[in-house]
Amino acid sequence: MSYRLYNRPGSGGFVVEAALALAETDFELDELDSRAGTPLPESFRDHNPWRQVPTLILPDGSTMTETAAILIHLANCHPEKALAPPSGTSAHAAFLRWTVFANVNIYEAVLRLPYPDRYTTDPNGLEAVREAAVERMGKALSVLEDAIEPGPYLLGDTMSLVDVYVAMLFTWYRGDSVFPKLTTLKAAVKKIPIVAPIWQRHFGDR
Ligand SMILES: N[C@@H](CCC(=O)N[C@@H](CS)C(=O)NCC(=O)O)C(=O)O
């Protein structure tokens, strides 16, 4: 059995799909007929009780969710593809650090834009939740911008899955702050030959 990835176009499963493609492993894609920014069908709870994508079924039939965990697992399963630095090194520690940082601070803030009602009980406070989310994302992105030192990637001169992840999250940023290093990183990710068509399918020219 191969991997099976549940996602919907334009959603966070992009980075898992890109990781599976970079790992050059077999996988099936199950693209749900559901619009980005809307809750997934109730029936999806059978696959993921938290009703979110990406949801990845591993070759042994077990289920994995949470993008950071999935990326770390895939990098561990395919060490020959160098999707992350070798385990136990400081570079791997940085990979873990920024992957989890992006997950808990940026991906979490992204969710407040389509689903502000989950973050306040005040029906008049929805716009304020969205505004705070954009501001929070900007602050987290500026931490990543400063961490790209010397760059061009988060871990220096070698690209890893965390760059693909951050490029996706950065493309969802709607604020005014300018991040030149993240812009360069995103342009580089979009050009990876294996990633380019997947990016195009999910995000077009964004
Ligand atoms: N913590 C989850 C977040 C996943 C997530 O927010 N997925 C969005 C799509 S990009 C989703 O399924 N939204 C539907 C919902 O939350 O109801 C992860 O890291 O994978």
- With contact defined as beta carbons under 8 Å apart, do 27 and 5 qualify? yes
Task: Identify the pLDDT of residue 86.
Answer: 97
Asked whether residue 202 is assigned to any structural domain, the reply reads no
> Domain boundary at 47, 81, 115, which?
81
> Which residue reads 């069908």 in tokens?
41
**Ligand 1 binding site (Cβ under 6 Å of any ligand atom):** 11-12, 39-40, 51-54, 66-67, 103, 107, 111
Look at residues 50, 81, 112 and tell me which one is the last residue of a structural domain: 81
* Contact yes or no for 154/162 (Cβ under 8 A): yes
Query: pLDDT value at position 34?
Result: 87
Q: 206 in a domain, yes or no?
A: no
Is residue 198 included in any domain, yes or no?
no
Residue 1's pLDDT is 81
Return the pLDDT at 118: 96
Residues 51 and 102 placed together within one structural domain of the fold:
no
Q: What is the mean pLDDT of each run of 10 residues along the chain (206 residues)?
A: 94 97 98 88 96 97 98 98 97 98 97 96 98 98 97 96 98 97 98 98 95
- Do 22 and 71 lie in a common domain? yes
Predicted local distance difference test score (pLDDT) of residue 183: 98
pLDDT of residue 37: 81
Q: Compute and round to an integer the Cα radius of gyration of the chain.
A: 17
| Distance separating alpha carbons of residues 42 and 39, to the nearest angstrom | 8
Tell me the CA–centroid distance for residue 136 and ligand 1, in Å: 18
**What pLDDT, on the 0 to 100 scale, is given for residue 138?**
98
How many domains does the chain divide into? Answer: 2
- Identify whether residues 67 and 121 lie together within a single domain: no
Residue that finishes a domain, picked among 81, 98, 120: 81
Q: Do 71 and 10 share a structural domain?
A: yes
Atom from ligand 1 closest to the CA of residue 39: 17
Q: Look up the domain containing 66 and give its range.
A: 3-81
What is the Å distance from ligand 1's center to 114 Cα?
11
pLDDT at 35: 84
Supply the mean pLDDT for the chain.
97
Angstrom distances, CA of residue 121 to CA of 111, 116, 129, 137, 201: 16, 10, 11, 22, 36
Note whether residue 99 is domain-resident. yes
For residue 163, the model assigns a pLDDT of 98
Looking at the structure, do residues 38 and 110 belong to the same domain, yes or no? no
CATH number of 14's domain: 3.40.30.10
Cα(157) to ligand 1 centroid in Å equals 30
Token pair for 190: 């979009």
d(CA 12, CA 53) in angstroms, rounded, equals: 7
